[in-house]
Amino acid sequence: MKNASIRVRLTLWYGLALALILSLFAVSLYLVMSRALREQVDASLEEAAAVAIRTLGEHRFGPFLIFEDLSQDFPEIALLDKFFQIFGPAGQVTIQSANIQSREIPLSQTAFRAALEGEVTFESVQFEKGVPIRLLSFPVRQGDQLVNILRVGTSLQSTDRMLHRLLIGLYIASPVALLVSLVGGWFLAGRALRPVHVLTQTAQRIAAGDLTQRIQTPPSNDEIGQLASTFNDMIGRLEVSFRQIRQFSADASHELRTPLTITKGETELALRRPRNAEDYRMVLESNLEEIDRMSRIVDELLFLSRADLGEIKLKMLPVQLDDLVREVQQQAMVLGQERHITTVLENIEPVIVLGDDLRLRELLLNLVDNAVKYSREGQTVTLSLHVIDQRVRLRVQDAGIGIFPEEQVRIFDRFYRTDEARAHAQKGSGLGLAICKWIVDVHKGTLEVHSQHQHGSVFTVYLPLSSSLAST
Ligand SMILES: Nc1ncnc2c1ncn2[C@@H]1O[C@H](COP(=O)(O)OP(=O)(O)OP(=O)(O)O)[C@@H](O)[C@H]1O
Ligand SMILES: [Mg+2]
């Protein structure tokens, strides 16, 4: 049963339920019918008894009740399939109708005792091999005295035959009805499950590696339709993340290959012939630079994958953000020294946020590093820190190369660098902003970029204000 298809199970359950209903129906029909027939027989016996009593009354003083008189007076009695008996007060037969012939149908003890009490008795009896009969015993009293017991009987043969026929009908009709509805149920279950079949086939094609496949959603928004569209959404997301992973691996290998190629080339060149110590030193220094670059990329990658896995623990403590901004400004001055890029502070409000000091510093440094790196010689980078609408707003503004609008959404992707940036500054792996984004996210903040190509960029960080203390 566990491995059977839903179609088989549905049909079987359906069949079982129907079989139960049918048997219940058959049993109740049989019971109701037999009861109704029995009541009909009893009512006709009572009717006949009433007629007989009336006749008896008219002949009360005669020594014998001539039965033929009864049928003469009431011809319908003769037509009815009934026999009559009249018992004396001691229970002995005095008169009985001719249709009993020589059969003996004595008065039962129960009926006699009930008659003495003045009560009517109904009995069903069957004499050996004879037909079943229904008997009504009716006491005839004068005052307190029991004078006679009238008995009317009738054969139950015809009602029994009727019930028997009903039973046969039910025996035949029920299995046929069951069979017909099982076939119907099988057909309907198949129809209802057809979309599931289509779904499975598409899922199999997708499982075989074709993520561009989509399930054709049925026009109705029923359970199957919802399943199909949920499934399609899921495949869509999978397709995107698969593409990202592929892109990521390609980018990562590419970023690592460049410094490796440089190191290898320089080392090979140096080894081609003997050189003096100064030359070796220069090669080693250059190699060290590339190795630094590679280890930085590997470190950042490691950091991001640990961040993805939720393995990075933050120490969330109150951080005096304005102090941090001032320190980073000093570092930025050093970074820009060579190209005469100055970093200035503008409107720095004293602000405390709840955060990880190291990560916030890294965030700020990355943004400032970008601003300096993508500025042109002699330009200025501006840092500002405000509290606006119960949020801390930290801005890093430059007047450098800027970013095209269509590229602005992608710069937070890992390894993404604009062509403009590559041409302007060779150094850089494209991981800085991905890390910034993660840091801002874990601090429950937002990171926005507004930029105009060739006119500069503004990176704005919003952080929740934990306790804005206007400390001095
Ligand atoms: N201030 C900015 N002005 C212009 N373009 C920027 C600026 N900041 C970032 N970008 C663009 O976004 C890209 C991604 O920045 P990100 O900091 O992630 O990488 P990177 O600075 O190139 O390298 P890394 O920071 O890993 O050394 C940059 O390559 C550049 O194209
Ligand atoms: Mg950067």
Contact by Cβ (8 Å): 138, 152? yes
pLDDT for residue 63: 41
Q: pLDDT for 39-91, tens place per residue?
A: 999 998 998 888 877 776 666 534 445 555 555 655 555 555 788 888 888 88
Class of 223-308 per CATH? mainly alpha
> Can you tell me which residue has the tokens 């005295």?
145
> Which CATH superfamily groups domain 6-161?
PAS domain (3.30.450.20)
Q: What is the distance between the alpha carbons of residues 196 and 32, in angstroms, rounded to a whole number?
A: 46
Nearest Cα residue to atom 25 of ligand 1? 432
pLDDT for residue 468: 45
Amino acid letter, residue 238? L
Q: Which residues of 379-394 are buried (b: 16+ CB within 10 A; e: fewer)?
A: bbbbbbbeeeeebbbb
What are the residue ranges spanned by the domains of the chain?
A: 6-161, 223-308, 317-464
Q: Give the residues across from 153 on adjacent strands.
A: 83, 135
Nearest of 258, 436, 456, 448 to residue 371 by alpha carbon: 456
Separation of CA 240 and ligand 1 centre (Å): 23
Q: pLDDT for 258-311, tens place per residue?
A: 889 999 999 999 999 999 999 999 999 999 999 999 999 999 999 998 998 889
Instruction: Report whether residue 195 contacts ligand 1, using a CB cutoff of 6 Å.
Output: no
Contact by Cβ (8 Å): 152, 134? no
Amino acid letter, residue 293? R
For the chain, residues with pLDDT lower than 70 are 1-3, 56-80, 98, 101-102, 128, 218, 467-472
Average pLDDT along the chain: 87
- Cα 268–273–279 angle (5° rounding)? 75
Nearest Cα residue to atom 4 of ligand 1? 402
Ligand nearest the Cα of residue 417 is 1
Q: What is the distance between the alpha carbons of residues 172 and 168, in angstroms, rounded to a whole number?
A: 6
Q: Give the SS3 label for residue 42.
A: helix
- Cα 362–367–371 angle (5° rounding)? 145
Is CATH 3.30.565.10 what the domain over 317-464 is classified as, yes or no? Answer: yes
Nearest Cα residue to atom 7 of ligand 1? 370
pLDDT for residue 52: 78
pLDDT for residue 351: 93
451 Cβ contact list (under 8 Å, min separation 6): 402, 403, 405, 408, 457, 458
